[in-house]
Structure 1
Amino acid sequence: MQPQSASVLSVCIITPCSLCLYRSQSASVLSVCIITPCSLCLYRPQSDSVLSVCIITPCSLCLYRPQSVSVLSVCIITPCSLCLFRPQSASVLAVACQSCVLIWHVEPTSLATRPSTSSCQVLQQNHHAPVTCLAWDPSGRTLLSASPVDTSLMAWDVPMETYVPLRRLGGGGVSLLRWSPDGSKVFSATPSQLFRVWETKTWTCEVWTKCTIRCKAACWSPDGRTLLIATENEPIIYSLTFSTNMDDTSTVIGGSQSAVVSVSLAEVDLKTEDGETTKVGGVFQSMVMDRHGERLAVTLHDVKGQVLPYIALFKTRTNPMLEITPCGLVQGETGEYPLQVSSQPSFDRGALLSVVWSSGALRYVPLYFIPCDEIQNAQYHQPAPPTLNGNILSPIARHT
């Protein structure tokens, strides 16, 4: 189903090499042939539409636009591992490749099935390969790229094709990047137990070194005050809190001295509605928080590395203090497990998850709720009851 749209588009995977799209209003069926199932879902900035990205072969990338029902096939020179749209732009796509970063300028309204070579920029630096991590700042002005074998982060000015290396010794390269939604901080994990949090005014950083093993997953709260992290072999979410009392000239990050255990997902037995007992829990694979900071979606894997066939959901609050409460599980069809989970950045009725499953299916999971800030604003702006000479007038009619 297309979110915030009057038309319904149901997506049905017919075979591993065919995708059937059915439009309920026009009763028309469009069959799009792809070589492999969908493996990644991206939202275009400033748009409610979804662009599902299907990695076809190590040398090509298929972009599918649900609204225009068109397929854009882009030839990639080297294998790619990640792609991200530039914030505030619906046409600039950064692709992390084996030896460089490709910047594709894809015109959203173009009917061309393959862009010309002039629409691509190549950002490349010696010894900065393979590129496996990318992060745009929320304004779209700076792109960070990282490699697990290079100790430097590269801060790119994309239009000028210039960069500034951000180098700190210790920990090896960079295996994970997360830019805070408020733009003030960047989390970078290394292949070792060490991770850093950078402030983005003068690019100084604070270091944490007491993890038992490397960080596997991380996400920021919308206000940039709270960082959630999970390590590679523990069923635990840790949290770090950061000061928000910094002025415009401050370069102090203000992070807490040590991470606090916030959630444990050690394996437990859970009874289902059918009366059966199932085991729930495992090690964290990935996590994503909605734009309101009130829902957290987590994927897990077992001790053997097999991804578990469900998504764990949590209710969260970050103000005045962090609260995380389990609230449910999302399962796919029999035999499916989640590959990638993302949250629509502009859904205004709660949170909307887009889940890519191992079968290649892309499905939406709406989580309807009224955000706390909207409730507080409604209470704040509620008009006071009418008064007369200091006495509150009752809305209840008087009976004689």
Structure 2
Amino acid sequence: MSSQLIGMESFREYSSFATDDFIHTDLSKTHVENQLPKVNINVPVLPSTKFPRNEAALAFIPIKDGEKITIWKQFLFTWRTQGIYQALELLSQTDLKKCSANQMTYGMVTLWKTVKAVQHVFMPLSNMSSVIDTVAMFSHTKDWSTSPVRYLAWHPHCNKLAVATRDDTVLVYTGSTSTPVVVRHSSQKNISSMSWRPLCSAQLAVGCASGVALWTVDPASLGTRPSASCLTHLPHPTSVNSVAWDPQGKFLASGSAQDSSLYIWNVENREATLLQKIRGGGYTFLTWSPTGDRFLACTPGNVFKIWETRTWLAEIWDVMNGYVQAAAWSPCGTKAIFADSVQPTLYCVSKSSSTKAATVVADFTETQSSEATGLSRLVQNLAWDPRGERLAVTFRSSDYVALFRTRYSPTLSLFPCGVLKGEPDEVASTIQFKPDFENGALLTVAWSSGRIQHVPFSFLPQHLET
């Protein structure tokens, strides 16, 4: 395979890093596979997400024979089931001239539209039509709204994998078992993110439409469904887009693309500290550095922030256009790589940089040879293994996963080592490295078919095709 496959002239020297360098003689592929969960999501049984749930619910308003569903019945039903915010939104989208609306109603709707217009100046995403649209727009999962698997979360210390599916169920697999613990609740809708609590084997934070669902999953339970008593709800005023634990498991951060407040939770007493901001208009992705002293927060705008967590003083970084689509920390916590939503480029920001400018570390601009492979263009997601030796990248317009070998000290360097392909018609939906894999790096890939594949880098064939 030649470097033109990636379309980056600066990567011509990668061929010196052969896949033979990754092979361990004291380990077999079968042995690795036997220690990992076997997961294959049954796509036909998952419900379709073609229509939003709230629209479907209106079809079940109780009425008497011959009675019409008036706007006021819809308003009261929406208020009772979804809250006053959605009820007023329903009125604002209705032609009240065709309804028996009085002057007070007109005034209330006019005031609501004025508030929304002012809100849109500071929160551009607040007028999006639904939670599904917002989550799908900023999700790292490709085709989030239709993907059978919406998120993967490996436990940082245990051989435990959480899989969020399209029907808002979380399946928790332990060891090599094929029978998961089923984690589900009526308030757990539109799952956007998940994170296991470090230094704790049982707690899983799930970001969803109603806030954060904090589950305590008994590590000894197999094939059971935790009761509601195992759930702690951390409320948000809007749908949560990202959750992240600090490395010590003391604090949980949560943020929403539609809310300008960043929540830092002390989960022991269910209290949150709010980090307010206006510029950027919300939070789309949060990640703590492995050392815990820095915290990166991406926004829907063309800025992102890096906090120093001892003093909570922040550096504001700008991207030229668009917003930060994906980001990842180096193991030392002094470097972060990121990709924006409009440039086919990977950048790096460093704590020691004196210029306060990001450097380009990879360019995925199409070349004549890369057009045939489709491996280029905009980045969808990044995954960097905890040792800082392997990097996996998915793209918005490619079905594959690009794989790199990396060096992060003293400077960051990337060396392409291949492309991971799925079965025919499969698209790579979401990816994550297993944090505690002892024999190199283990990449877990969820494909659009519902198949979940574990790829130990020690055993990637020469062309990295499955």
Common topology (TM > 0.5):
yes
Aligned residue number for residue 26 of structure 1 = none
Aligned residue number for residue 54 of structure 2 = none
Cα deviations by residue, 1:266-314 (Å, 9 ceiling, x for unpaired): 123448xxxx953431110000111111111000013xxxxx1110111
One-letter identity of the residue aligned with 2:388: G
One-letter identity of the residue aligned with 1:124: P
1:72 CA drift (Å): 2.1
Aligned residue number for residue 87 of structure 1 = 198
Counting matched residue pairs gives 329
Aligned pairs for 1:1-400 (under 5 A) are 4=32, 16-17=44-45, 37-47=148-158, 49-58=159-168, 60-65=169-174, 67-76=176-185, 77-79=187-189, 80-111=191-222, 113-125=224-236, 127=237, 129-243=238-352, 256-270=355-369, 277-302=372-397, 308-368=398-458
8 Å contact from structure 2 (residues 432, 445) kept in 1: yes
The higher relative CO (CA closer than 8 Å, separation ≥ 6) is in 2
209 and 109 in structure 1: CA distance in 2 versus 1, 3 angstrom threshold: same
8 Å contact from structure 1 (residues 268, 279) kept in 2: no
Q: Any unmatched runs of 5+ in structure 1?
A: 19-35, 244-253, 303-307, 370-400
8 Å contact from structure 2 (residues 217, 230) kept in 1: yes
1:66 CA drift (Å): 5.2
Alpha-carbon distance in structure 2 between the residues aligned to 1:3 and 1:136: 31
50 and 3 in structure 1: CA distance in 2 versus 1, 3 angstrom threshold: farther
Cα deviations by residue, 1:337-388 (Å, 9 ceiling, x for unpaired): 111111111222221101100000011111129xxxxxxxxxxxxxxxxxxx
Alpha-carbon distance in structure 2 between the residues aligned to 1:117 and 1:15: 27
266 and 104 in structure 1: CA distance in 2 versus 1, 3 angstrom threshold: same
1:52 CA drift (Å): 4.2
Using the aligned pairs only, state the percent identity. 35
237 and 3 in structure 1: CA distance in 2 versus 1, 3 angstrom threshold: farther
101 and 366 in structure 1: CA distance in 2 versus 1, 3 angstrom threshold: same
Q: Any unmatched runs of 5+ in structure 2?
A: 1-28, 47-146, 460-466
113 and 293 in structure 1: CA distance in 2 versus 1, 3 angstrom threshold: same
95 and 69 in structure 1: CA distance in 2 versus 1, 3 angstrom threshold: same
Alpha-carbon distance in structure 2 between the residues aligned to 1:103 and 1:198: 25
One-letter identity of the residue aligned with 1:121: T
Alpha-carbon distance in structure 1 between the residues aligned to 2:427 and 2:282: 30
Q: Which has the higher helix share?
A: 2
Q: Which has the higher strand share?
A: 1
Instruction: Report which stretch shifted further, 165-174 or 72-81.
Output: 72-81
1:3 CA drift (Å): 6.5
1:2 CA drift (Å): 7.7
1:81 CA drift (Å): 1.9
TM-score, length of structure 1 as denominator length? 0.76
TM-score, length of structure 2 as denominator length? 0.66
10 and 168 in structure 1: CA distance in 2 versus 1, 3 angstrom threshold: closer
One-letter identity of the residue aligned with 1:148: A
8 Å contact from structure 2 (residues 379, 395) kept in 1: yes
